[in-house]
Amino acid sequence: MLATSIRKLLPSAGILSLDARGHGETVTSDDSDLSLSTLSSDLIEIIQLTAQYCGWSPLPDIVLVGHSLGGAVVVDVAHSGKLGNAILGYAVLDVVEGSAIDALQSMHTYLSTRPTGFSSLSQGIEWHTRSRTLRNPTSARISVPALLSEDANSSSRPWKWRTDLAATQPFWEGWFVGLSKKFLEARGGKLLLLAGTDRLDKELMIGQMQGKYQLLVLPEVGHFVHEDAPEKTAAAVSAASGALGKIVLILENSWLSFIGEMIEVPWCCHQKWEICTSLRLASITLPYRTK
């Protein structure tokens, strides 16, 4: 829904959906390596491969957007400087270093209360809306199926979580330590979109008072702000991009997508193709646009 909402505001944009390792159908040499450095390297590589395929030289302006762990990834990429001057800015959706690290302390409690599986996809969708994990039923029907996979060996609850969150514990602290500092230091415009002001830590509060970034709070939504309020999130992202036709990189949960300027695009309307690399990171849907 977020992509659809952005498309309305940026009608000439194309969309690249990136299936991050360990979160979907992507198979890599080490799917268990979900360290911040690895996820950041994956993101940089897929942008560079896409630029190579599309003949972009230099890269067009880029606005990175990331939610939760995705926010940590895009900030790390922006801070690394490995995309040069291409990054126009970046937006982070509902993740702050202080509150994220605090939340990790109760992660095991949360995982112990979460169902280990569901008897059907519809039950999984219902759990997300009933538990208020997702507050937008339409969005839940679209996004929840991608979070689950069917286990043919399980008869009672065959629909299991695609990502084993407990197994990612060794990486939890590394995802978020230093996030606020990097967010404030990296070059480019900055947008922080939160579901509540209580999530701000001291460093970001000081930075906000100094006018170092733009802060937008949507108090009526939950952690998945882009799922609960896709239109408002799309409006904020589009405004942050500064102008139509800029590349906007979106990380929905831990799936990456970007919206790019399409000029003389050499493929057919909504043709889908896959970038074949050792990482097999992405499939792309891009619109046809004539000269």
The residues annotated with a catalytic role in the active site are 68, 94, 223
HEC string of the chain equals: CHHHHHHHHCCCEEEEEEECCCCCCCCCCCCCCCCHHHHHHHHHHHHHHHHHHHCCCCCCCEEEEEECHHHHHHHHHHHHCCCHHHEEEEEEECCCHHHHHHHHCCHHHHHHHCCCEECCHHHHHHHHHHCCCCCCHHHHHHHHHHHEEECCCCCCCCEEECCCHHHHHHHHHHHHCCHHHHHHHCCCEEEEEECCHHHCCHHHHHHHHCCCCEEEECCCCCCCHHHHCHHHHHHHHHHHHCCCCCEEEEEECCEEEEEEECCCCCCCCCEEEEECCCCCCEEEEECCCCC
Q: How far apart are CA 107 and CA 68, in angstroms?
A: 14
Q: How many CB atoms lie within 10 A of CB 82?
A: 17
The single residue listed with the structure tokens 């991050």 is 20
